[in-house]
């Protein structure tokens, strides 16, 4: 890694279909596991991986869409 700029890969054991895959890990392009956030339990019973301090390359929609990755 040595301070290089890499993508963050959020790894699942299957594709996003009706019976979606489960979370496996977060890693760099060269396969190193990384800790980039904190797991939080939400009041509705769902869990969120909160990743603080992210810069987005372009404006995102102001309306959140549940269950979709953008």
| Residue with more model confidence, 57 or 8 | 8
User: Residues 6 or more apart from 52 whose CB is under 8 A from it?
Assistant: 37
pLDDT reading at 70 higher than 50: no
pLDDT tens track for 16-62: 888 888 889 989 888 889 888 899 999 999 999 888 876 666 655 55
> In the chain, count of helices (H) and strands (E)?
0, 4
Q: Is the pLDDT of residue 63 over 70?
A: no
The residue extents of the domains of the chain are 8-50
Compute the average pLDDT of residues 3-10: 80
Instruction: Give the per-residue pLDDT at 54.
Output: 66
CA-wise closest residue to 51 among 33, 70, 26: 26
Helix (H) or strand (E) holding 26: strand 23-28
């Amino acid at each position: 890694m040595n301070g290089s700029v890499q993508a963050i890969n959020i790894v699942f054991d299957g594709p996003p279909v009706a019976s979606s895959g489960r979370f496996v890990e977060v890693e760099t392009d060269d396969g190193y596991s990384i800790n980039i956030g904190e797991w939080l339990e939400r009041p509705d019973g769902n869990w969120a991986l909160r990743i603080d301090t992210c810069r987005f390359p372009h404006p995102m929609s102001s309306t959140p869409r549940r269950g979709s990755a953008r």
